[in-house]
Structure 1
Amino acid sequence: MSEARILGVLGGMGPLAGATFMQRLTLLTPASRDQDHIPSILWSDPRVPDRTAARIAGGEDPLPWLMRGLRGLEAAGCGAIAIPCNTAHGWFEPMQEATRLPILHIVHAAADELLRLGLTGGTVGLMATKGTLAMRLYQPRLEARGFDCLVPTEEEMDRIVMPSIDLVKANRISESYAPLAEIARRLIARGAKAVVLGCTEIPLGIAAGPALPFPVADTIDALARASIAWAKPAA
């Protein structure tokens, strides 16, 4: 039996983001046959309580559900964990403390993606959930890598970004493109050199229409690339 590293994917937040991550992991992996791909196990549990509601509105704590998924992936023999949900990384520290497995941090992956796109510093736009922005998951980590974050206004978040994320979760993906693309354009107009899609529903909406004419860091792809680097360090 092959001793290839097995990747655990803690998904379901939302389900389409986790499924798309698995597809992108496959498409981005350098492979010429089945056996060249990365053994992976997707734990997709959409019952995990809403992460933004938990953080800013006193909603149910998602950590017990996240831990349940981690335990299942540990028991399945996984060697590392990828979580294709940005807001869930607000519970990164307690999750990492509770498992012996490395958890690949999506924000670090996004910073690496910006470098891959040719940016070494400056101002970048950040589109994310209200929970991710409130927890400042990105700002200090990107600042440590030389990037300043420009975020949508509170009015834009309430009227455009969060409703667009909800459209993706409701499988109304094509409807989310125009409003999400408009916010991305506004961030560029305000001085951003690129836009980080810091919610894994947002790349799904942006992919539903014409490509944007400026650099975009897709955190689904970024996490997939980080996962490939873990699984195939010599690739």
Structure 2
Amino acid sequence: MANNNNSDLAFRSSLLCLAAVMLVVGLWTHSFRKMVATYFMGLAGIAGVLLPDWEFFDRDVSQWAQPVTVDDIRPDDVLRPRSTRRKNSERDAERRRRSSARSGERGGEMRLLTHNMLSSNIKGVTNGFPLKIEPEKVVEKQVDMNSDFLRNIFSKIEWKAFVDAAKALGYSELPEEADATLIDSQDFLTKFHHALLEIHLEEGALVCPETGRRFPVNKGIPNMLLHEDEV
């Protein structure tokens, strides 16, 4: 490698000297022909110097020093000082750590709204809804009430399954039957909102009504993944 570097240095130095000589000749004589003659004579001289180093000419092109291309340059690395890039990287890493910590503390949100839309998809199951609830830990989280949302979602709720799920989590203030006339009642909307969005299954399990297969709920997140023989 040392010989290769020396040869490269000699070649580049020779070219620089040749360019300097050509410039001097051109300025001194004002003759293009003499500049061309100087160029070819200089090349011959360079070849005479480097010809004994056959490895210089036989060297694989991949071993030559490659120039830096535009693709190798990141604009941020060029425009921002190194110290600034390091500080920004540390700040981004700290932000990600805090976000992960908040996500871990908050966990999932297994509301009765979510439960009302889940079913067992085990192969061969024809009646996988509603999933039975085996609660171990139930929490309440206050949520701002949106009456328009409640009125719109009401028609999409399977009411009997919703009432049974609320009872399983310890809330029995909902009517056994409900129709569209109740959505104009503020008292009903308040109870509906509380059961739908504020009661959470934090720990426990959801059970397939047909097979008895248990889907665990951990930190408010239901694990509905199936085994290979269940798909």
Same fold (TM over 0.5): no
Higher relative contact order (CA 8 A, sep 6+): 1
Larger radius of gyration: 2
Structure with bigger helix share is 2
TM-score, normalising length: structure 2:
0.21
